[in-house]
Amino acid sequence: MARRPKGEGRSVQSVKNSLKFKATPKAGLLSIKIGVKKYSVPVEARMIANGDFLFLSFPASSELYSVANGAIAPLADNADASAAFEALNPKRRRRSRATKQVEIPSELEAALKKIPSGYRLAIGPDGAPRIVKTRVRRAKK
C-alpha cells in the first residue's frame, strides 16, 4: 500500500479510525452532575488531547473536536483533518542505545597490540588465555 504524501489532506473519518486504538483507555473519565452531586459514569473512554485538538472515543462511537478560543466544537465530516492527525498521532519511540567507550588500561592495550596479524586471543578449555590462528572463511563458488 502506498504511503500518503504529507501535504495531502485526510478525512475526519480516516483520522478517527487511525487514532482509535492509539489512544490510551481511561476509566472514570466521564462524569455527570445531577443536582449538587457528581457521579462518575462507568464507561471506558479513549482520549488524546493537544492544545488545538481533542480526540474522544467511546466503545460505540468516536468524535474529533477542535479547541479554539476556549470553546470545543466537533469537526465537520467533510473537513480536512490533516492538522488534527499530525497534532494527535503519537510518535513511535525509537530507542537507540548509545555505546559507551570502554577505557582499556594501557598495559592491556599494549599486550593486545603484540598479537601478530592472523591470530586472535581465545580462552582455552581450562580457562587460560591463548593465541590461536584466525579462521579464514572463503566464499563458495
* Residue-range definition of the domain harbouring residue 44: 12-88
Q: Average pLDDT per run of 10 along the chain, which is 141 residues long?
A: 64 86 79 72 79 82 76 80 85 77 88 89 89 86 69
In a domain, 64, yes or no: yes
In a domain, 19, yes or no: yes
Report how far Cα 53 is from the mean position of its chain's Cα atoms.
20
Record the pTM.
Answer: 0.41
The secondary structure of residue 11, as a DSSP letter, is B
pLDDT of residue 42: 64
Contacts of 119 (CB under 8 A, 6+ apart): 131, 132, 133, 134
In a domain, 68, yes or no: yes
Into how many domains does the chain fold? 1
In a domain, 45, yes or no: yes
In a domain, 22, yes or no: yes
In a domain, 138, yes or no: no
